Chain A
């Protein structure tokens, strides 16, 4: 598709028509056209491995799609499917009863599952991936800097028996998300080959050498694959090229001859490149109303815009002398008009936006419960907010809110300097002014330090969600969590959050998580606004390509099924 008739370039330059005609013959009408797709990854991947803090981005994950094998993933409709190409059977929960012994589960890989060099996949691959995912304190690996150590750090022992790996957790620990340890959403995005360590001269039992193997995996373009495609060319600066893995053992064989994944960091180039046939599609991480509007007008494009994983919220610093008063916080949340904020930012590109009414679950989750609509928080109800304040003894002096003769605030309303958040905090400032609360806007480029140092009174920022949620409540609100930036502390919420993180099943974890949400709402500590939409576009000539917002792989989640429609 993208073969350039170079003659025309020269013709454009004013060179001879003869030259043009000569090279025009390069098209080769008798040859069967190769099935080739060019799919954009919209940032530079930092590494060839996804476990590390630097490599653990959606871009690395997407670049490695179809290469790293995994045990299952959430589908676009939020249902979970095990990868029965890779697994011999569904993962087994061996024990979840504390009275019977430690929490234990096992994975058994399919008999015919092999790496691209023909080496069988074994339980050792799972074990070594787990070891590289653990924190250095666990003693497996000296220099592994895994971006997510929680699941691996719980493991006390791994027993490998051929294709089966059995994981036993430390005493009194349970992992409700155990089935996801090697799935598409895991820290590794799947699992890595163990046998290559020996081939490269690393002893995985030696923590220093496992660290070296980990570095090797992150630094070396994988010539190995455990999926339908393997990388045959590319670097971390420009693009990767994938071709079918001849050893792929799955039921569906790859239909494309080649997939090119260029790294394109400027979304402004998507539209001309798409119009020009240089790319076939993309699933950008950032929302862009401009690109959406332009793609929508193209007949040859499929475009979907849906609720993404990053959700915006407003937090208050409860250690501020005024904001420690829950009634003031409730009034502030009641005066904020979430719909106005969402509408201003997203209506043009995504008129179907939904306000977020649960801090942990999206509305498509089976565990979703609406805990916010029944309150007036986020409704922009000035009358109700004023009523709350009057009942609590606050009064208005002109346009200024006073308590005991003293002005309440002013408060520092902060956020990062993006268009969406700028719009948002300006609206919030105006909305709070209606109840006499004065705010000063201060934008920052250093969100981490601002939050970590509690350098705000009210702040808007985003969290990214995931189908796995058990630790969210603990992370957001537990009094000892490093991510509970606003200093909130509540024993009831702590209890629910801890229970969710240590539940033995997702159902149980969801129950506790929803209880935590229900308990936090009246405390008016975090007001969820809306999930930022994500968009996806693809050429009509492609088939079986769709977005999957449940997964970091996005549209590449089923790359092995991609085909050309013609």
Chain B
């Protein structure tokens, strides 16, 4: 498996390089990072524009800039992936893209982890119940909820959840749920109990929003997978041996039925991170999603490249993990 993993990682390098070339070119042709500066009123002195062009390496050709972005050779020490520098930002002279990503990664992971845990737990529960009660009212209800959740746009559902939170607060006459912010500032100086309750107040609504789509699709996978296993010969054999239904489901059926879901979840991480873009925006969390939107708004090409690179790495890693998990969970699969 080690050889296979190394081979996969090495194989991912040219994919990443190719993806980075494409995205670099696309971002470069999509607009001038200094548009806002050039459109300023009164217009800035030409020497100021020149200063910015030099700082952002816009005085160099696109291939030269790409080479700089990769190697940093010939730069001012603020660029070059191989040197651990993501490049200068249009957002301010001292904006450190790498540090911003590192800082925001924690925020996003907090939200993504919470959403994944709850989505997974609920999806397994709903999928198993649906499969066990196939074609019952409960199955139809859960199926309906699943499709409804799949069809709901995140930004719309987020708005609904915010309003619901406000309505609940009004009902109980207190601020139980917060509608904006990640609560980290509010938690400063609080004891452990305060931090827990604060996290509940700030995390509940965005977590529900972010987990919704994943829950919907994963519960469908789980139901299908569970049905397949329940109808398999070895489950019939287990039942024929007189094992209690609870044991059959828990020990024999569920464990096998979780295998396809596990790999789907691994691949789905990238989707959840994408979903976090809108969720973070609506709930004003300063995570990677908000980082991406701010970079787009500021025409910050190096920040965008950094985000896209990170996304690419995460997708490749998620796929690799999914493939490896197949081998771990299914004894029939071996990697050579």
Contacts and interface: CB of A to CB of B under 8 A. Distances in A.
A4 B197 CA distance: 9
B198 A150 contact: no
B59 to A, nearest CB: 15
A238 interface: yes
Interface of A: 2, 4-13, 23, 44, 46-47, 52-56, 135-137, 143, 145-150, 153, 215, 218-219, 233, 237-239, 262, 264-266, 268-269, 272-273, 275-279, 445-449, 451-452, 463-464, 466, 471, 475, 481-483
B193 A6 contact: yes
B61 interface: no
A54 B55 CA distance: 13
A481 B43 CA distance: 9
A483 B169 contact: no
A149 B178 contact: no
Given A6-B197, A10-B197, A147 B282 contact: no
B283 interface: yes
Nearest to B293: A265
Contacts of B180: 262, 264, 269, 272-273, 278-279
5 contacts: A4-B198, A53-B52, A54-B91, A269-B179, A448-B38
B181 A262 contact: yes
B306 to A, nearest CB: 16
Interface of B: 30-32, 34-45, 47-48, 51-52, 90-95, 103, 155, 159, 162-163, 165-166, 168-170, 172, 174-181, 184-186, 193-194, 197-198, 200-201, 204, 281-284, 286, 290, 293-294, 298
A276 B179 contact: yes
A53 B103 CA distance: 25
A218 B155 CA distance: 35
A148 to B, nearest CB: 6
Chain A to chain B: the 6 pairs with minimum beta-carbon distance, closest first: A6-B197, A448-B35, A135-B45, A54-B92, A272-B162, A46-B92
A147 B48 contact: yes
A215 B293 CA distance: 26
Nearest to B100: A237
Contacts of A482: 43
Contacts of A219: 93-94
Given A136-B48, A239-B185, A276-B169, A12 B176 contact: yes
A187 B262 CA distance: 56
A293 to B, nearest CB: 15
Contacts of B201: 4, 6, 9
B48 A146 contact: yes
A145 B72 CA distance: 24
Contacts of A53: 37, 40, 44, 48, 52
Contact of A447 (B35, B178, B198, B281): B35
Contacts of A264: 180, 284
Contacts of A239: 185
B41 A55 contact: no
B93 A215 contact: yes
A52 B94 CA distance: 11
B89 to A, nearest CB: 8
Contacts of B298: 46
A445 B30 contact: yes
Given A5-B174, A266-B284, A278-B178, 18 more contacts: A2-B175, A4-B197, A10-B197, A53-B40, A53-B44, A147-B48, A218-B92, A262-B180, A269-B282, A272-B159, A272-B166, A273-B180, A276-B178, A278-B179, A445-B30, A446-B35, A448-B38, A475-B41
- For B163, B169, B197, B283, which residue has the most chain A Cβ atoms within 10 angstroms? B197
A179 B44 CA distance: 21
A135 B47 contact: yes
A218 B92 CA distance: 9
A53 B44 CA distance: 8
A6 to B, nearest CB: 3
Contact of A52 (B34, B93, B168): B93
Nearest to A279: B180
Nearest to B173: A8
B63 to A, nearest CB: 20
Contact of A265 (B51, B159, B166, B294): B294
Contact of B39 (A145, A273, A448): A448
B37 A277 contact: no
Given A10-B197, A218-B93, A475-B41, A238 B286 contact: yes
B31 A46 contact: no
Given A52-B93, A218-B92, A10 B200 contact: yes
